[in-house]
Amino acid sequence: QLGNHGVVEQHGFARNRLWSVDESPPLPDTTSDCHIDLILKQSEEDMKTWPHSYELRLQVALSPRGDLILTSRIKNKNADGKPFQFTFAYHTYFSVSDISEVRVEGLDTLDYHDNLQSKIRCTEQGDAVVFESEVDRIYLSAPPKIVTIDHEKKRTFVLRKKELPDVVVWNPWDRKAKAMPDFGAEEYKCMLCVGAARIEKPITLRPGEEWQGRQEISPVPSSYSSGLLDPEMIQQMQRI
């Protein structure tokens, strides 16, 4: 669950639970030898607030060229025949040089919910998302590839996603950063959250059904000029 877009605690309970290594994972979705499979099942504590039986699997893989691949599977294990519904988001925090020198491309003309304005629906007017103050948005029906450009580091993060139509973009800026106990007062300057999500249309699973989502992050060197990706980097991205 992202934020309060659901019935359980802020951002859901999965991130606050102790996971186990999955001893019998599904066949891997990657050819990488560098991966780990994790599993989370319901606990008595979870059943008090979300009374459903489930299996949540996460495979974390690293490719030889440095791509990070996250694959999540959620299965309804209810024995009483009841379906359940949920939203989903990866909270992907990128380390950046200076938030004011970063831009996110691929979200132009899209509608988004602005969480700073009571989740009203807006339309992105710029050719890229840039940061001059706090941003907390859910972009809807985004393309399968989103690009985050760090001008100062001359580095680009290419995010690819499957079965995750939405994209969360968040930076708390100075006032909210100072108010958060687990966030340094100046750390907003060197981080950015851009993550694949499924929020506007929640997922519903009947007993025995499974949903799978995937996010891949590829760091590539880049240059930046007048807000456009250079031709060499575009060719690199097309080969990824």
pLDDT(100) > 60? yes
**Dihedrals phi, psi of 185, to nearest 5 degrees:** -60, -30
Please check whether residue 135 lies inside any domain of the structure: yes
At 85, list the tokens: 């519904």
Please check whether residue 8 lies inside any domain of the structure: no
pLDDT confidence tier of residue 239, bands split at 50, 70 and 90: low
Please check whether residue 7 lies inside any domain of the structure: no
Please check whether residue 203 lies inside any domain of the structure: yes
Share of the chain above pLDDT 70, in %: 89
Question: How many domains does the structure of the chain reveal?
Answer: 1
Please check whether residue 29 lies inside any domain of the structure: yes
Is residue 96 helix, strand or coil?
coil
Query: Tens digit of pLDDT for each residue in 83-92?
Result: 999 999 998 9
pLDDT(192) > 90? yes
CATH code at 212? Answer: 2.70.98.10
pLDDT(231) > 60? no
Virtual torsion, Cα 200, 26, 215, 21, nearest 10 deg: 100
Handedness of CA 80, 82, 83, 87 (dihedral sign): negative
Better-predicted residue by pLDDT, 150 or 5: 150
Residue 88's domain spans which residues?
20-225
What global pTM score does this model have? 0.87
Please check whether residue 145 lies inside any domain of the structure: yes
Please check whether residue 236 lies inside any domain of the structure: no
Show the DSSP H helices in 120-223 as ranges. 173-179
Query: Tens digit of pLDDT for each residue in 114-141?
Result: 999 999 999 999 999 999 999 999 999 9
Please check whether residue 43 lies inside any domain of the structure: yes
Mean pLDDT of the 179-201 span:
95
